[in-house]
Amino acid sequence: VVGPSQALRTMVREFVFFAARRPEFHRIATFEGRADNERIDWLIEIYIRPFFEFSTGLIRAAQAAGAARPGDPGQLHYGLIGLVTTSFVFAHEYRTMTGLDPFDPAQIEKVANLACDFLGVQTCRDAPAI
C-alpha cells in the first residue's frame, strides 16, 4: 500500500509520460473545448471527468496528509495540465524558442519533476518507473 504522496507522484509521472506520448489528445481537447458541442461533452464524460476526479481525489488525500501544497484541487489539477502539456502540444514552438526537444527523455523527466514541485510533493524521481 502506498501513501497519498507516493500515489500523487506516480499519477503525475504517468500523466507526464502519457502527455509526451500522445500530445494529440490535448491538441484535440483544446480545439474541441473552444465551443459547447457534443464532441467536447463526449470527451469530458469519457476521458476528462474520470481523470479529473482521480487527480483531484489524489490531491485532496495528499493535502490531508500534509504532503501537497494547499489550494483548490480543481485549480491545481488544471495548473498541472497546463504545466505538463504545453511543451508537448506546442512542441515546434517550444523547440524553436528554447532549443530543447520536449520529447527527449531527460526533458520529460524534468517536466515530471517540475510538476511534482508545483504540487508540493517530493520529486517524481522517487516515484516508481512506468
pLDDT the model gives residue 130: 46
pLDDT of residue 64: 97
In which residue ranges of the chain is pLDDT below 70?
Answer: 123-130
62 close to 79: Cβ distance less than 8 angstroms: no
Instruction: Write down the pLDDT at residue 126.
Output: 52
Give the helix/strand (H/E) hosting 64.
helix 49-64
The whole-model pTM stands at 0.88
What the block records as the C-alpha cell of 129 is 518507473
Residue 56: CB partners within 8 Å, gap ≥ 6?
73, 74, 76, 77
